[in-house]
Chain A
Amino acid sequence: MQFTTISSPHSDRPNSVSRTMLLVILALLPGAAAMIWYFGWGILINMLLASATAIVCEAISMRLRKRPILPVVGDFSAILTALLFAVAVPPLLPWWLTVIGIAFAILLVKQMYGGLGYNPFNPAMAAYVLLLVSYPVEMTSWLPPAMLNETPLTLLQSAMVIFTGTLPGGLSWDALTMATPLDSMFTQLDQSKMVSEIMMNPLWGDFGGRGWEWVGNWYLLGGLFLIYKRVISWHIPVSMLASLLVLAMLFHFLDQEAYPFGMFHIFTGGTILGAFFIATDPVSACTTKKGQLVYGASIGLMVFVIRTWGGYPDAVAFAVLLLNMAAPTIDYYTQPRTFGHGGTS
């Protein structure tokens, strides 16, 4: 009897790229749902629009590269990129900015470098930064969280704003939008206000902005799920959050009124999302365990530096992109000790 011959191992392999990506998407959902809850339908519209654009862009580039489309679209990595982008941008971002961002992320940042696995930068964050630098106003026009929002938009109204730019009757753009807690904190600090004074505003909850901190909690839950499922390891999120927290606490300790307290940094902006979902993007992050600790801690440091002394309110995207560049070098110098090479024996 004749049989097929294949190189070992011959086991049934339990893991796959699409499974990995789907687990990340699944873990992202509680946080995304919380965002829709607090910031309205715009988030959902952005998620759908971004995903559709990502699939189209992925298909186009596969066509151009003369490669099969289905396995690549089927790995769900482009959809994950789109979802991460959608939860990072303001809920009422004009549709064409979402399309530009995703097209940039997929076509240039990802596929131009060879597709999944070859991109040195995190596509979602590169797109976020591109738009933030090019369209600062649109990119910082956030909605207030549900409990502070007196004029919540319906699904249709949100779609109207996003696709046509028409605001519902009687509403002005300024009345509708609001700076993020992070943004307002540092803007006011720049105006020499004190932290305690700024925190008097009803915008603030226990740790960060109202609403925002709950979104952070849900992302944290998703992140812990990913660690439990071993999709990501604890190294990057823990080192990133720890370094950010330690730095923030240190400076807060030195001057309580000039530097917000430690947990503020953790529960505002994109810190939790960044720590568990963005900095852990395996393709652009470090792969060695020691390297991941260095990488995460450096992101935490950069986030603190940029937030405190930099010109942009949120810093996760910049910090991640900067450390993406350093990842190969960090990996090179943090190789583990191979079995039988020096050490214990």
Chain B
Amino acid sequence: MSPINQQKQKHPLHRFNGGLHLPENKSISLTLPLMQAAIPKQLTVPLQQHIGEIAEPLVKVGDAVLKGQMLAKPQGYVSAPVHAPTSGTVVALDVLPIPHPSGLPAPCVVIETDGKDTWGDKMEPIGDYMQTDLSLLRERIRNAGIVGLGGAAFPSSVKLTPGLDNPIQTLIINGAECEPYITCDDLLMQTQAEKILSGISIIRRLVGAEKCLIGVEDNKPEAISALKQTVAEHELSWISVITIPTLYPSGGEKQLIKVLTGKEVPSGSIPAKIGMICHNVTTAFAVAEAVMDGKPLISRYITITGNGVAQPRNIEALIGTPASELIAQAGGYTDQVYKLIMGGPMMGFTLASDEIPITKASNCLLAADKTESPDPELALACIRCGQCAAHCPANLLPQQMYWYARAKDLEKVQEYNLFDCIECGCCSHVCPSHIPLVQYFRFAKTESWAQEKEHRAAERARQRHEAQVARKERKEAERKARIRQKKEALKKPIPKKPADDKSPVEAGDDPKKAAIAAALKRAAEKKAALAASGVTPKNQDDLTDAQKRAIKKVDDRRTIPETDTTTSEEQGG
């Protein structure tokens, strides 16, 4: 350990409830150095690698593309572009399997690579990023397609545009990497500390934070000393590199903020609410690359590990490289391979096939054997031992939530704060009855969303229905009122009409009807005048019978008394 790590840390740390000390298994992928992945024959670049709107393709099949060329542009504010990771030809624009927990395919651009790796028009490097206009930096980050690389893949440009209501004081940089097996952030911090810190400086300018806390788990001493050394070299006194205890899931955004500052992000809210913003170290690195080198996000570090792969290691791979290709570059599968997990063992998801590309958010491919990731054992009844609650980092009562989720009592399960569950998997891991608790909570969340949607639709329908009933009642009341009026009018002795009154309207007191009568009279007079002058309206001269009938129909309808007309809307009711 370098001397810089031995200085006593003054920053006070805090604890979240529970958490797990898991077997780390990190060293297995750190024995070999980082490797540059060879360019695969084909790259499959999904159009949606981020939260928000899918990107809109700018290329078509047959187009030649150059490295760094934008393949699809963002649609809407919360969206991100995707770029060609290398040069080649677009051979397909199709719905293909992507790495997603749902296993559903999504639109992708398939590029047949040419192996030349020719750069297209590179974005201009912004050297004086500490002076440049902020909007220019944001535009660059957006155009570079940078998304949160810690896993959520939320477009960074949006996050780097803080609202006026919540001024940011503290920038939190997440280098915890708490999931077992994964080491790509560790390696990045060890080798690219300089660039990470540049990225942090840019991010700090954009959000206007005073200070920055970098949280790194104490199982990464080399990364910590690399960061500390670089901070010391550049005299960045506003950055504190803080060693935190290794405890899963301290890399969860809310958990990390709690550990570093003791503050809790309010439920259902974002860190900005308490004056903080959290970015991953890899995101900071990508921001620096985009701003300083003009390089869009087209590659990333990824850990290929597990007992199911021959030479576990970290690889810098192009986005869109098939998982099978990366496994092959890590020496291929061993005989024991059983499961292929994208992400870590706790929160990653299994892939049904390795013919799936990696995306911006892919940090790990874990080829696990049966001992590392055995099949779930038969789930027994909950014995209410409370181990789940004791380990829950959100301080929930998973056993109670499970009870209600199982009963599909969604209201009750939400009362137990279902939506504060971060799905870290601690409860499932410790459950002696092997109940897949997280799965139950995902189910309850999905059902709740569906129910909420249904509720909203039903509410809209109800409102529409009520408005319609009210309108019908009003019309009916009006109609009855008119009939009553008419009846009363009939009961009265009919006043003697003046002989010269040619108006066809009986109720002469209605101004509307009077106006219609007047208009009709004017029209008749005009017609008479025309007839007298020998001119007839030409446009009605040579009409077909059908057209004449149609005109007559319209004329008839116009003459029908107003009270009998009903709008189509009402008939439709």
Which A residues are within 8 Å of any B CB, using their own CB? 1-17, 19-20, 71, 75, 77, 114-118, 230, 233, 282-283, 285, 287-288, 331, 335-341, 343-345
Contact = CB atoms under 8 A, between A and B. Distances in A.
B399 A13 contact: no
Majority DSSP secondary structure for residues of B touching A? loop
A15 B387 contact: yes
A3 B352 contact: yes
Contact of B417 (A118, A285, A341): A341
A11 B384 contact: no
The 9 lowest CB-CB distance pairs between A and B, nearest first, are A9-B425, A117-B381, A340-B267, A345-B264, A5-B350, A282-B385, A287-B386, A10-B373, A339-B394
B345 A10 contact: yes
A116 B348 contact: no
Given A6-B375, A11-B429, A230-B387, 15 more contacts: A3-B352, A7-B439, A8-B425, A9-B428, A10-B341, A10-B366, A11-B180, A15-B430, A16-B434, A17-B383, A17-B433, A285-B384, A287-B400, A336-B17, A340-B266
A288 B428 contact: no
A115 B383 CA distance: 10
Interface stretch (B166-174, B235-243, B332-340, B449-457): B332-340
A337 B385 CA distance: 19
Contact of B429 (A13, A16, A19): A13
Nearest to A231: B385
A11 B380 contact: no
Nearest to B371: A12
B384 A287 contact: yes
B373 to A, nearest CB: 4
B134 interface: no
B376 interface: yes
Interface centre among A9, A336, A337 (most CB of B within 10 A): A9
A7 B373 contact: no
B382 A335 contact: no
A4 B397 CA distance: 30
B37 interface: no
A294 B68 CA distance: 64
B91 interface: no
Contacts of B333: 1
B17 A12 contact: no
A9 B384 contact: no
A288 B397 contact: yes
Contacts of B338: 3-4
Contacts of B373: 10-12
Given A116-B383, A339-B394, A1 B267 contact: no
Interface centre among A118, A282, A340 (most CB of B within 10 A): A340
B438 A331 contact: no
B351 A3 contact: yes
Contacts of B385: 20, 282, 287
Interface in B491-523: none
Contact of A338 (B263, B324, B420): B420
Contact of B263 (A12, A331, A344): A344
A13 B400 contact: no
Majority DSSP secondary structure for residues of A touching B? loop
B485 to A, nearest CB: 62
B354 interface: yes
A285 B371 CA distance: 35
Interface centre among B264, B374, B436 (most CB of A within 10 A): B264
Nearest to B265: A340
Interface in B325-379: 333, 337-341, 345-354, 366, 368, 371-378
17 contacts: A1-B353, A3-B338, A3-B339, A6-B375, A8-B347, A10-B345, A10-B372, A13-B376, A20-B385, A20-B432, A77-B383, A283-B383, A288-B386, A288-B397, A336-B395, A341-B267, A345-B263
Contacts of B425: 8-9, 11
Interface in B25-56: none
Contacts of A344: 262-264
Interface of B: 16-17, 22, 103, 180, 254, 258, 262-269, 274, 324, 333, 337-341, 345-354, 366, 368, 371-378, 380-387, 389-390, 393-397, 399-400, 416-417, 420, 423, 425, 428-434, 436, 438-439, 442
A331 B399 CA distance: 11
Interface centre among A3, A77, A117, A341 (most CB of B within 10 A): A3
Contacts of B429: 9, 11, 13
Contact of A339 (B267, B346, B347): B267
B351 A13 contact: no
B423 to A, nearest CB: 8
Contact of A287 (B268, B381, B397, B442): B397
A65 to B, nearest CB: 12
Given A8-B425, A16-B432, A343-B264, A3 B350 contact: yes
A289 B99 CA distance: 40
A2 B353 contact: yes
Contact of A13 (B340, B417, B431): B431
B254 A117 contact: no
B382 A117 contact: yes
A19 B433 CA distance: 10
A116 B16 contact: no
Nearest to A68: B378
B339 A339 contact: no
B434 A13 contact: yes
A190 B436 CA distance: 55
A10 B348 contact: yes
A17 to B, nearest CB: 5
Contacts of A331: 400
A287 B392 CA distance: 13
A233 B18 CA distance: 13
A9 B380 contact: no
Contacts of B337: 1
A2 B439 CA distance: 22
A172 B431 CA distance: 53
Given A3-B338, A282-B386, A340 B254 contact: yes
Contacts of B400: 287, 331
Given A15-B432, A338-B394, A339-B254, A9 B347 contact: yes
Given A3-B340, A331-B400, A8 B346 contact: yes
Contacts of B417: 338, 341
A4 B351 CA distance: 8
Contacts of A1: 324, 333, 337, 340, 353-354
A233 B265 contact: no
B351 to A, nearest CB: 6
A71 B381 CA distance: 11
Contacts of B399: 287
A16 to B, nearest CB: 5
A337 B268 CA distance: 15
Given A1-B353, A17-B432, A287-B389, A11 B22 contact: yes
Contacts of A14: 430
B396 to A, nearest CB: 6
Nearest to A292: B386
B175 to A, nearest CB: 22
Contacts of A75: 380
A49 B101 CA distance: 52
Interface centre among A10, A77, A283, A287 (most CB of B within 10 A): A10
Interface centre among A1, A118, A343 (most CB of B within 10 A): A1
Contacts of A288: 386, 389, 397
A11 B391 CA distance: 15
